[in-house]
Amino acid sequence: MATAPDLEERSAAHTAAPWPRNAWYVACTPDEIEGKPLGRKICGEPMVFFRGREGKVAALEDFCPHRGAPLSLGFVRDGALVCGYHGLAMGCHGKTEGMPGQRVGGFPPIRTFPVIERYGFIWVWPGDADAADPAKLRHLEWAEDEGWAYGGGLYHIQCDYRLMIDNLMDLTHETYVHSTSIGQKEIDEAPVKTRLVGDEVVTSRFMDAIDPPPFWAMALRGAGLPDSGPVDRWQLCHFHLPSSVEIEVGVAPVGEGGYEAPLERKAYSVVVDFMTPETEGSHWYFWGMARRFAVDDAELTTTIRDGQGKIFAEDMEMLERQQKNLDLYPDRRLLLLNIDAGGVRSRRLIEQAIAAESG
């Protein structure tokens, strides 16, 4: 007779997974749990998120201890999560709080996951709860400083989260995948430098005295700068564990100092990318752009978000098709070039983190 996997087997399964577990991942945005629960699988774990009493966010395993129904199909009432199957009410700490006409106080608690609400996101720790430390969540300056404006969105992408990291750490593909928005041949021609700086991988590319592509011409107008004439352009990609990439991007009219130009003389932004693994072949992609120009222009924020959303949709199509090809030929060896160094080093950090967890 088949039996449920014991703790040792579950631990081995987690160890084999291609992601670190003892880390903070973006789970959702606050609006996604406004007045209702949200079911989301993260790092292979089905979870449900909701706001309990006094607005505190909670994360439980998405499993009703009564009959195993997904708690995410229920509703929130008086700070408790009520199962939509038979009405069992669960508290924020995974303990049963009641059920119409039944005595359920003796039910064992279900698993809970540590959560933090910070920087405009809700973060979850899928690993060892005793190791969850809010101080391990990396500081995001752009999310707290009024000198920045931010707009973003979410895509559910059917590919390994590491393929997206590869994509973001090598922006050569912009010339081809995003030829009508941010791509240009000078990206191919400019040398790329990859290095390890502390605990992050950084790839950088600088393009001097080039024409701005359509997206950046729009950004220059938004920044109150001329959108014609040559510009200096830069891309600095920063990978951080467990799975985020922040990309310093921008343009400045030639003669202003390029990357080092004063803020008022350049269109400077950070492309924000949080990849949260769902399964080995899918992930949640929280994307956005934080900018340091025209921060009070809400219309510009919407324009940039819409444009960026279309750009990332182009990435999504390519990556999902890439994943299907890789699934067809799992033993086929891929070729590596110098432009792949950022992705290779990022994967190495991920592998080291996984190995450290397994001891």
Cis peptide before 242 (omega within 30 of 0): yes
Contacts 24+ apart (CB under 8 A), 89-93: 90/60, 90/64, 91/52, 92/52, 92/53, 92/56, 92/58, 93/58
Enumerate domains of the chain plus CATH numbers: 23-133 (2.102.10.10), 142-356 (3.90.380.10)
Mean pLDDT of 228-238: 95
What pLDDT, on a 0 to 100 scale, did the predictor assign at position 3? 42
CB 239 within 8 A of CB 165: yes
Residue 299, pLDDT > 80, answer yes
Residue 157 has pLDDT above 50, yes or no: yes
What gap in Å lies between CA 66 and CA 83, rounded to an integer?
Answer: 9
Question: What is the mean pLDDT of the segment spanning 301-320?
Answer: 92
Q: Check whether 215 has a pLDDT greater than 80.
A: yes
Residue 244 pairs with which residues in a beta bridge?
A: 240, 274
- Compute the average pLDDT of residues 9-34: 83
Burial of residue 206, with CB atoms counted within 10 A of its CB: 0-12 exposed, 13-18 middle, 19 or more buried: middle
pLDDT tens per residue across span 85-140: 999 999 999 999 987 878 877 888 999 999 999 999 999 999 999 999 999 999 99
pTM: 0.92
What integer pLDDT is reported at residue 199 of this predicted model? 92
Torsion of CA 339, 344, 347, 349, to 10 degrees: -110
**pLDDT > 90 in the chain, percent:** 81
Residue 10 scores a pLDDT above 70: no
Tokens of 8: 């040792």
Q: What pLDDT shows up at residue 175?
A: 77
Q: Which of 111, 114, 112 is nearest to 135 (CA)?
A: 114
pLDDT at 5: 45
Quote the pLDDT of residue 101.
Answer: 78
- Give per-residue pLDDT as tens, 26-60: 999 999 999 999 999 999 999 999 999 989 999 99
Non-local CB neighbours of 148 within 8 Å, separated by 6+ positions: 141, 142, 290, 291, 292, 295
Token reading at 149: 């404006």
Task: Name the average pLDDT for the chain.
Answer: 92
Q: How confident is the model at residue 2, as a pLDDT?
A: 39
**How many whole angstroms separate alpha carbon 123 and alpha carbon 141?**
17
Give the pLDDT confidence score for residue 4 in this predicted structure. Answer: 44
Beta 244-253 vs 267-279: how paired, if at all? antiparallel
What is the arithmetic mean of pLDDT over 75-94?
94
Phi, psi of 66 (to 5 degrees): -75, -65
Banded model confidence at residue 181, pLDDT cuts 50, 70, 90:
confident
